[in-house]
Amino acid sequence: MQLKKILSILPSIQKIKIRSEADYYGASYLVAKKLNLPFPPISYTGWRHGWLLQPLKYEVQVTKTSDSEFCTKFLVPLKEHELFLRNIGIDAKAVGMPFVYAEDIVTEKIERVKNSLLVMPPHTLPHLENKENDEHAYVKLINDLKNKFDLIVVCLHQSCIEKRLWVDAFEKYDIPWIIGADARDRNSLIRMYKIFNSFEFMTTNMIGSHVAYAAYCGCKVSIYGKYIESSKKEFINDPIYKKYPFYMEYNLKHSSEKYIRDSFEFLFSLPFDAKIRIQWAEEQLGKENKVTFSKLAKLLGWELHDQITLYPRYFYFKIKKRIKHIIIRIKSILQEVIKSEGS
């Protein structure tokens, strides 16, 4: 009954076409909804959507996504990110992460289920190789917590469900799962905000944005179980890491278990011993830098003048990207033909 009540307040999944980073997880749609716009205009500004937990060293950490080439400025979570970019000649503005604006959309009171545990195992993405982890061992570890909690629910990324990761393992132990975030879902931010506000505890065995998001919503967050590190193999098809291999090396170094334990030792605990860390999460996500939704729209380039003058730039980079993908596809086909003829 408690799970059904949680599911009843979650928004439907509505797939969208990603035009720029501001569309990820429905951020631009959230802004448009608040401003009573029928749809979000094209955003010509990048808006950092992931928790930046590594020390700032490279521009690519803050600015690069597969859709950032045409961006004229960048919205970032923290003032230090803004100053970092401005010091190298890039227009930037600290406004907080998109997730902190979800609370301005969700107006109804959400009842947090006492002594409930949300489990968030490592997730994959459509273009990534699956993480190397022992599903059975982790699921058994979670199953052993049943006598400590009244409700345990697993939150799975849409990509994991599509690839059948974790699903069978948790179902074997009769542990229910729900759908979490998807970059192509216009309601992802609202969905995750409601999920995190419905549970008292959240546990995971890998660092990521979900840790800061859950803590921001008042969940008592823990990192528990065998820690899962990312690997080069996992990111072999990632377009950003292919272009900036030094960035992958830097991120892997700063996502190792040793680095995470040294930097966030307070997060490692038994799930039922975790503490509330709202203030810490607010600092990480840049809540103090929030601006009005009208200001966000202006910064994203939604004013008529920007929509007219910047569209040619957007169109040029989109065509350039499409041609590049066609060339890559042709080369791949030719290589397969040559390979088959040779055999």
pLDDT digits over 54-80, tens only?
A: 899 988 888 876 566 778 889 999 999
Architecture in CATH of 2-7+107-278: 3-Layer(aba) Sandwich (3.40)
Question: Who wins on pLDDT, 212 or 340?
Answer: 212
What is d(CA 102, CA 72) in angstroms, rounded to the nearest whole number? 25
> Is the model's pLDDT at 235 over the cut of 90?
no
User: Token match 């879902």: residue?
Assistant: 185
Compute the average pLDDT of residues 309-330: 80
> Is the model's pLDDT at 148 over the cut of 80?
yes
Confidence of residue 128 (pLDDT cuts 50, 70, 90): very low
Compute the average pLDDT of residues 120-130: 60
> Is the model's pLDDT at 194 over the cut of 90?
yes
Compute the average pLDDT of residues 19-28: 93
Q: What is the DSSP letter of 256?
A: S
N- to C-terminal Cα separation, the chain: 60
- CA-nearest of 101, 284, 289 to 210 is 284
Confidence of residue 272 (pLDDT cuts 50, 70, 90): very high
What is d(CA 202, CA 216) in angstroms, rounded to the nearest whole number? 12
Give the pLDDT of residue 127.
41
For the chain, where are the E strands, in sequence order?
45-47, 73-76, 92-94, 113-119, 151-156, 177-179, 199-204, 220-223
Burial 233-249 (b: 16+ CB within 10 A, else e): ebbeebeebeebeebbe
> Is the model's pLDDT at 271 over the cut of 80?
yes
Give the pLDDT of residue 126.
44
Give the pLDDT of residue 143.
96
Confidence of residue 129 (pLDDT cuts 50, 70, 90): very low
Torsion over CA of 227, 228, 231 and 233, rounded to 10 degrees? 150
Task: Give pLDDT tens digits for 33-51.
Answer: 999 999 999 999 999 888 9
Instruction: Find all residues with CB under 8 Å of 110, minimum gap 6, and list them.
Output: 9, 194, 197, 198
Are the beta carbons of 42 and 19 closer than 8 angstroms? yes
> Is the model's pLDDT at 342 over the cut of 70?
no
What is d(CA 293, CA 299) in angstroms, rounded to the nearest whole number? 10
Mean pLDDT of the chain: 89
Domain ranges within the chain, ordered by starting residue: 2-7+107-278
User: Token match 């604006």: residue?
Assistant: 101
Q: What percent of the chain has pLDDT over 70?
A: 94
- CA-nearest of 77, 49, 21 to 288 is 77
What is d(CA 111, CA 195) in angstroms, rounded to the nearest whole number? 10
Highest mean pLDDT among 118-127, 169-178, 283-292 belongs to 283-292
